[in-house]
A and B are shown apart, each in its own frame.
Chain A
Amino acid sequence: MNLITQDEISAEIAAASTPGGPQPRLDFGPYRSSLLRHPTKDLRHADPETIELVSPVFGPQDVDPLEADLTIQHGGEPIGERMVVTGRVLDGDGRPVPHQLVEVWQANAAGRYIHQRDQHPAPIDPHFTGVGRCLTDADGTYAFTTIKPGPYPWKNHRNAWRPAHIHFSVFGRAFTQRLVTQMYFPGDPLFALDPIYQAITDEAARDRLVATYDHEVTRPEWSTGYRWDIVLDGADAVRFEAHLDEEDDA
């Protein structure tokens, strides 16, 4: 049994949280699984070649539009707060990323995943799997209908609880922009206690993972609504060429 307390982990988080950049620290001791799984050497700079400035393209045969509704995958309504989660996928220049793949997975309203390794003794919902995908539209907009996930314990330390979150996998225009992340909900009391969330040591950057409640995206007498935009880092072909032009001008 893991005897490390939340207080000890919280003290480690405080000690490790020197101001950081916009991305998580890969070496973040309070998240125990990171100890042997982070590179110890600096990332080496590479000038991207063409294959690193493109992404696969996905078409109508790849994704069924119904896969964006996680509440209709079984013969009945899942338990929990039905909600719409929507937003836009943008690059760092604010240009939308159209027709690209967004994949999500999440726990059910009780904090339980449909995954063999999830042993949390919370109820499985026979009407909820918690997996969805969609393609962004021409404006870079994605939208899912789902159930608000619950927090769940995860044994990093004794009585460790993850804030409620939805896992997102997002493709940009380029290999360099590939992103897997997690979306959180506003005001979660578990934020301060969570080593995964706190591995992003810049507060403004952490805030970018938190969706906003938006009454405009609710559906009357049907669902609540959250908005969360995703901004992808890294060069694509257009941005990299612009960057080279700037260098030439300098």
Chain B
Amino acid sequence: MSLPPTPGQTVGPFFGYALPFERDSELVPASHPRAVRLHGHVLDGAGDPVPDALLELWQLDEDGMVVQAHGSLHRDGYTFTGWGRASTDRAGHYQLVTLRPGAEEPGGAAFFSLVVFARGLLDRLHTRIYLPGQDDALAADPLLGTLDDRDRATLLAHDEDGGASLRFDVRLQGSGETAFLRYGRSS
């Protein structure tokens, strides 16, 4: 049996009082000894910041394992659930506090999975944020291997502050447009 899917629609301008919740962007507290700040801007086709975007992060834990723990909406300060949500601010900037994910397989590339919503964006977009400093794994990655150098560069985060921060910008359109992904969905 195959049922036709329910179409997506834009998240619109007014999600800001509904979807954000307390410590939504803190997958771990900033005081965690291995906390990393993942941050950047969401930009439109004119290079202008997008102040009404919402991002969601899906990730493995530090050992490359899937986490299936309750508590993503109710942060207890201890449980890592591998999921978080961040809104952009008036400057189009977002930040998440989290742990660097491990790779699923030895020798595989470690990445975050990201969903992007915004006013003006009629359906959600998926992409990946690959960690820097794993050159062999990146060179062997099946997805990155299908991309040209420019597209590939759009999926790589950059270390900042000696590794305390990771920088990743989302460009919805235009020069440096982020490579967005599909996974065998019907569109």
Contacts and interface: CB of A to CB of B under 8 A. Distances in A.
Given A23-B186, A43-B182, A63-B73, A209 B7 contact: yes
B1 A93 contact: yes
A50 B183 CA distance: 12
From A45, A129, A180, name the one whose CB has the most chain B CB atoms within 10 angstroms: A180
Interface string A83-109: 000000010111000000101110000
Nearest to A230: B6
DSSP majority for the B interface?
loop
Given A22-B187, A232-B5, A233-B185, A61 B71 contact: yes
A34 B121 contact: yes
A21 B4 CA distance: 11
A115 B183 contact: no
B3 A44 contact: no
A182 B13 contact: no
Interface string A181-207: 110000000000000110110001110
A231 B107 CA distance: 36
A31 B182 CA distance: 23
Given A40-B173, A44-B179, A23 B123 contact: yes
18 contacts: A37-B50, A39-B178, A41-B179, A44-B143, A44-B180, A59-B71, A60-B70, A94-B3, A105-B14, A114-B17, A117-B14, A169-B15, A169-B19, A178-B56, A199-B122, A200-B7, A200-B9, A205-B7
A41 B182 CA distance: 12
Interface residues of B, number: 74
Interface in B50-80: 50, 56, 58-60, 66, 68-74, 76
From A39, A131, A199, name the one whose CB has the most chain B CB atoms within 10 angstroms: A39
A62 B75 CA distance: 9
A72 interface: no
A193 B180 CA distance: 30
B186 A233 contact: yes
A104 to B, nearest CB: 8
A21 B185 CA distance: 11
B156 to A, nearest CB: 15
Interface of B: 1-19, 44-46, 48, 50, 56, 58-60, 66, 68-74, 76, 81-83, 101, 104, 113, 115, 117-126, 128, 142-143, 146-147, 151, 172-174, 177-187
Contacts of A56: 58, 72, 81-83
Contacts of B14: 105, 113, 115, 117-118, 167
A51 interface: yes
Given A36-B46, A179-B8, A234 B183 contact: yes
A223 interface: no
Given A51-B82, A57-B70, 16 more contacts: A22-B186, A26-B121, A31-B120, A37-B120, A43-B182, A51-B66, A56-B72, A61-B70, A113-B17, A115-B17, A167-B12, A175-B126, A178-B124, A209-B9, A231-B5, A235-B183
A110 interface: no
B115 A234 contact: no
Contacts of B118: 37
A39 B124 CA distance: 11
A181 B122 CA distance: 9
B73 A196 contact: no
B58 A175 contact: yes
Contacts of B117: 180
B4 A22 contact: yes
A38 interface: yes
A57 B183 CA distance: 21
A176 B126 contact: yes
A142 interface: no
